[in-house]
Structure formats: C-alpha cells, structure tokens
Structure 1
Amino acid sequence: MNAQYQHPSELPRPESAASIDSVLALYEEFGQLHYDEELAQIDHALQTAALALHEEASDELVIAALLHDVGHLLAIQAGRAEGESAVPAQDLTHEAVGARYLAGLFPPSVTGPIALHVRAKRYLCAMQADYIQGLSDGSVRSLELQGGPMSVTELRVFERNPASTNAVRLRRWDDGGKLEGLRVEPLSAYVELLQRVSFL
C-alpha cells in the first residue's frame, strides 16, 4: 500500500454538517471544480444520483449517491482556507471524511455506503477480472494509492459489513456517472428528498 495512504481511523474528525443548506452550499461554491476526472464535481454527483433513481434505489441510497464525494469538496474548502487556490492533487480519505461530515444529518443507511464506496472499488477489482477495464483514468490512477485489489482477508471483512451490498451498488453508479454532456435533474430537485431523509 502506498505510504501516503491514511487509514480512515487515523483521520482527524471533521466538523459535522450543520444543516442541509450547509451541504448544498459546498456544491454551489465548489461543485463546478474538477477532481481528477473530466467532469465537474456537481455533474458527477447528479449523474450518480440519477443512476440510483433509475434503478429505483431507496431514498437513503439516492442521497448516498448524490453526496458520496462530498469529502472532495471538504478537501477543496480546507485548502482554500489555507490559501491554496488549486484543487488538491490527491485526496485518499474523502470517503471517510465525507461520511463523518454527514453523520449528524443522515442515518447509517446513507453514510455507510459512502464510507465504503472506495473499498467497494477495490472489492470489485478483486472479484471481477474485467472490472478495472471499465474504470475511468482517474479511478485507475487512484486505485494503486488506495491499496489495489483487496486481499482474500479484506474481501471477507468487507462482505461482513452490513453496508457492503449497497456500497457496491453505489460504486457501480459512481463508475457510470462520468459522462460529459449528459442532462440530468439539477441539485434543487433533491432538496425535498434531502429534507425527508435527514434527521433534522
């Protein structure tokens, strides 16, 4: 595993989201930025959520699809606070940071798949020989840094996690939500759903 990788348990705990409005504000401020992909963050989020809706996923899983990369936006926000204008070159912990940030607003049925969606990529790489061929260039670049395909022991641990099945579903939508020019519903279309699923 790459020496730059930090296990999620070693991360500082981010402040929890204060409200749905504060989450939406992240996408409004930073959503047009790109992160190691051809697509802007907001476009990728909306496409991933649209795929979840198309497969008639639960409300919670649709929200997980919409917000799965919010940790990237938090990394950008933190960089700007430190005076950095560029998008971070690598962010190897966004799934854990994002899940922790959302934990005060949403149930584990939302945050669990988000926390596991990077590991789900490693799981699928180990389970399906041709899976990696369908990954975007950005996902292939990050795979090695994230630990590469899972070992047999890691597979067993992953499969025992109650959120693993939905994390794999989320991962497939994540992989598919990277099409340039695809027209989908705007972020405002999800506000009512966010409010319905939220604790607040």
Structure 2
Amino acid sequence: MNVIERIRELFAQRGNSQYGHEAVSQLEHALQAAALAESDDASDALITASLLHDVGHLLHDLPDDAPDQGIDDRHEELAAAWLTDHFGEAVSEPARLHVAAKRYLCATSGSYRKHLSPPSQLSLQLQGGPMSSDEVAAFRAHPWSNDAVRLRIWDDQAKVSDLRTPDLEYFLKYVQRCLPAGDAPAPTTTDPAQ
C-alpha cells in the first residue's frame, strides 16, 4: 500500500473520532489546519505537515480521553516517526515540533496561553508546560522552528464546528508533490489510440 492509500485508510478508519474534547473530528481538524496553511500561502510541504501533524492520533491505540487520565499520548513523536518514513524534514519536523511550539508560545507570548482551548490547556500540562529560557533558546535555534510556530497557530485555529473546507482528496495533491519519486504512485496513463 502506498502512502496516499495509507493516509486515505487512516482517515477512513479513525478520522471521524473526536479530536480530544474539541468540537471537531480528527479529519475536520486536519482539513481545517491544511486549509489555513493554504490560505496563508504556505509551501506544499507545510500544507502537508498541517494536514498530517496529528496523524499520531490515528496511529496509537490510546483512548480519546487519555489526557483526562493524565496520559500524554506523545502523538507528535508517533507522527514524526511515521512522516519521516515517507517525507523529508520540511514535512516531518514542523509536525514533530508542533507541541514544542505550543510550549514555546506559552513561554514567549503573554496572550497566547489564555486563548488556548480547555483541552489544549490540559494537554499543555502533560506536555511539560511553558518552556524554560534554555528550552526557548534551543527551540529558536532549530531550523524548522518558524514553520512549527506557523503550524501551531493554524492548529489552534482549526477547531471550528461545521466549517466547510475542501475534502481530503483536494489536499492529497500537496501530499503527492512532497513524496520522493520512488514513493509516489505511478501516474495513470491512457493509450491515445483508444
């Protein structure tokens, strides 16, 4: 199964599950994040990262209420490992760092934290809370930190109930363009004589 088929399968199997205690499903959240990235003229890789940043939620077997049980599902690490198997760093690193970007913004922006949804506030505590000054400096020095912060902001905004967005198939064109040539499905060819 190629990666495009696997993405379709993951969202078909688990995309309708609740995104934490937010008002959207996993699929709605992914599509909204990708739509926000596209509307902000992000690169193909960053749109792909936005679409797939929470794929770790679709890969683990923990219950949806894991944070309520005091469990950090470490979905960003699962996502990064899976994405690294299929894409370059321009996709995998912003996804891997999107939780760190939340911690960074909580440490560096006085207003950011108060705008987090209650479920995001809860997960923040499980994820280590706001960064220390040393962690802030290390995060700023990371080559993908700016993209991670952009993704994080779209992530926070991608929780609107009943918001219309393009569907998964629409965004898979960005995913397709980010795949190494050997991992991309073969193009469909037709015989012009037929």
TM range (shorter): 0.7 to 0.9
- What corresponds to 1:19 in structure 2? 3
Deviations 1:55-112 (A, max 9, x none): 000000000000000001111xx35xxxxxx535234310011011111211100000
- The one-letter code matched in structure 1 to 2:130 is P
Q: Which moved more, 1:17-26 or 1:100-109?
A: 17-26
Q: 1:164 aligns with which of 120, 140, 145?
A: 145
Aligned residue pair count: 176
Q: 1:60 aligns with which of 42, 45, 61?
A: 45
- The one-letter code matched in structure 1 to 2:3 is S
- In structure 2, runs of 5+ residues without a counterpart are 184-194
Q: 2: CA distance between counterparts of 1:38 and 1:146?
A: 22
Superposition deviation, residue 28 in structure 1? 1.0
Tell me, yes or no, if structure 1 residue 173 matches structure 2 residue 154. yes
Q: In angstroms, what is the RMSD of aligned CA positions?
A: 1.4
Q: 2: CA distance between counterparts of 1:38 and 1:192?
A: 27
Tell me, yes or no, if structure 1 residue 128 matches structure 2 residue 109. yes
| 1:1-200 alignment, distance < 5 Å | 19-36=3-20, 37-75=22-60, 78-79=61-62, 86-90=63-67, 91-199=72-180, 200=183
Do the aligned partners of 2:34 and 2:171 also contact (CA within 8 Å) in 1? no
Q: Which moved more, 1:40-49 or 1:96-105?
A: 96-105
- In structure 1, runs of 5+ residues without a counterpart are 1-16, 80-85
Do the aligned partners of 2:34 and 2:48 also contact (CA within 8 Å) in 1? yes
Q: 1: CA distance between counterparts of 2:130 and 2:80?
A: 22
Identity over aligned pairs, percent: 44
Deviations 1:4-55 (A, max 9, x none): xxxxxxxxxxxxx952211221011100001322210000000000000000
Give me the TM-score of the superposition, normalised by structure 1: 0.84
Superposition deviation, residue 134 in structure 1? 1.2
Give me the TM-score of the superposition, normalised by structure 2: 0.87
